Amino acid sequence: MAQVRKRDSWGSRLGIIMAVAGSAIGLGNFLRFPAKAATNGGGAFMIPYFVSLFLLGIPLMWIEWTLGRYGGGFGHGTAPGIFHSVWQKNRFIKYFGIIGIFGPLVIFIYYTYIECWTLAYSFFALTGKYSHLADQAAMKSFLSGFQGLEYNQYFSGLKAAYVFFLITFVINITVIYYGIKGGIERLCKWAMPLLFVFGFVLLLRVITLGAPDASRPGWNIANGFGFLWNADFSSLRSAKVWLEAAGQIFFTLSVGIGVILTYASYLSKGDDVVLSGLTAASTNEFAEVILGSSIVIPAAFVFFGASDMRSIAGSGVFNLGFVTMPLVLNKLPWSAIMGFMWFGLLFLAGITSSVSLAQPAVAFLEDEFDISRKKAVAIFAAIAFVLCQAPIFFLKNGVVDELDFWGGTFFLVLFATIETILFAWVFGMEKAWDEIHRGADMAVPKIYKFIIKYITPLFLLFILGMWLWQEWLPIIFMKNIANGDKIYILATRLGLLGIFAVLAILVKIAWRRKRLLEEKVR
């Protein structure tokens, strides 16, 4: 037999829980969730949200933890190898697993750039660079200038943004270079507690806000929470609201991406996945539902009132985080410190997510080509750096939105559907149920045996079907894309096809290489 290279491992159960929670807790917890809740029925949104959590999120979390640990026992840390381990008789299943490398890579390409904005704004908060701005128009212009979307009195190009991108990129690569235990686990063990400290300080400050204007007594924190949580139950009749809630669960738990598969592959066969997975999911839900919903929207309500809040909530996550919140925090005592904590919280949420997005590609090179961590990280860094240039320089042409749709939305649901069917129907529910409980510290409620086999795949197929029915043709034919941007969107799609094709070729080469080595040993 050929000598098997020793794979990396986690240092502790706390490490893996913090890492998975860190992967899940991202910008969407503090920006996307409150906006979605406020614009989709308020408190009523939580009904489809929790239905999706219990029927999609938690089952997928357990599926991915279990599949990852199972595949790791065969020396595979990414979906192609893990899928092949589950269904060895099928020579094509490993190619479906390419999505589990493709999706994280595509998200990493643009996510790292957005992440660098939070680092930059942390610096800007401390130095007072935007402290004199007093209205939304001025703050939007500041953001647009920083992003290179316009030349103005604040910025004269992308120089500042690019410097912070380089810093952020280097931090990511450095963490990844030091591996699972020495890099990712070490980062998450201090970043996650610090994130929660910042979050609790901001939450405490928000809930102690009074009415800033005595002539507007209704503009208070109680009504701010009411704006977010008062239920419009008529919204539950809309399929869009249910799809939005399901989509938020995918985003918030990082399921369907392939990251959890890779993280769980570094577990030992007897390590618990039931309680660990549930703990990681619960940590994420606490960050989202308790902290994420209690900072942005209620605080903004106090200063802008109900009428403006409707447009603010629907204006997009960038405006919420980088326009509205700086204006709110500028009006508070210790505004520089509060601003630093807000953007520091977002940066910590971003960095713990982005390093997880890089790990599947690095693990694929390590496991399937048997190369060193140092060399795998160097290859990834070189390729990722080149790919990151498109979202930086073509943000205004819709490249980020296009990458986000394919990498962070469509393929995410498709991948989740494939792995659920593979787990429950190909691997077999009885065998899968035993595998879930191997080394488990608690038993999964028996109802989940039925949910995982029937409800979760049907729910996923429904989401895919609704998308195909409602969105397929307009998206493919770029119906809602400006004529001047269509060439950039087409180039982006061709680039994505190229990335997928290269990954497919690498998978083919890796398996041919393994087969030749096995024949040589015989």
Instruction: Enumerate helices (H) and strands (E) in the chain, giving the number of each.
Output: 29, 0
User: What Rg do the C-alpha atoms of the chain give, in angstroms?
Assistant: 23
Per-residue pLDDT of the chain (522 residues; tens, 9 = 90+): 445 567 888 999 999 999 999 999 998 899 888 888 888 888 888 899 999 999 999 999 999 999 999 999 999 999 999 999 999 999 899 999 999 999 999 999 999 999 999 999 999 999 999 999 988 899 999 999 999 999 988 998 899 999 999 999 999 999 999 999 999 999 999 999 999 999 999 999 988 876 556 667 778 888 888 888 888 888 888 877 887 888 889 888 989 899 999 999 999 989 999 999 999 999 999 999 889 888 888 888 888 877 777 777 777 778 888 988 899 899 888 999 999 999 999 999 999 999 999 999 999 999 999 999 999 999 999 999 999 999 999 999 999 999 998 998 889 889 999 999 999 999 999 999 999 999 999 999 999 999 999 999 999 998 888 877 877 888 888 988 999 999 999 999 999 999 999 999 999 999 999 888 878 876
- What are the φ/ψ torsions at residue 108 (nearest 5 degrees)? -60, -35
Q: Do the domain assignments include residue 3?
A: no
Q: Do the domain assignments include residue 488?
A: yes
Q: Which value, to the nearest 10 degrees, does the dihedral of the CA atoms of residues 201, 124, 105, 517 take?
A: -90
Q: Are 353 and 26 in contact (CB under 8 A)?
A: yes
d(CA 474, CA 481): 9
Which residues lie across from 231 on neighbouring strands? 42
- Which of 227, 216, 114 minimizes the C-alpha distance to 161? 114
**Structure-block tokens of residue 53:** 């959590």
Q: Do the domain assignments include residue 353?
A: yes
- What are the φ/ψ torsions at residue 231 (nearest 5 degrees)? -90, 130
Q: Within a 10 A sphere around the Cβ of 215, how many other Cβ atoms? A: 6
Q: Do the domain assignments include residue 4?
A: no
Q: Do the domain assignments include residue 445?
A: yes
Q: Do the domain assignments include residue 139?
A: yes
Q: Do the domain assignments include residue 333?
A: yes
Q: Are 165 and 156 in contact (CB under 8 A)?
A: no
Total domains in the chain come to 1
Give the containing element (helix H, strand E) for 99: helix 99-127
Q: Do the domain assignments include residue 76?
A: yes
pTM of the predicted model, to two decimals?
A: 0.93
- Which of 46, 455, 59 minimizes the C-alpha distance to 241? 46
Q: What is the CATH number of the domain that holds 389?
A: 1.20.1740
Under DSSP, the state recorded for 485 is: G
Three-state DSSP at 189 gives: helix
Q: What residue numbers bound the domain in which 44 lies? A: 13-521
Which residues lie across from 42 on neighbouring strands? 231
Report in angstroms the alpha-carbon separations of 240 from 4, 28, 54, 176, 243. 49, 19, 19, 38, 5
Report in angstroms the alpha-carbon separations of 411 from 368, 405, 500. 23, 8, 12
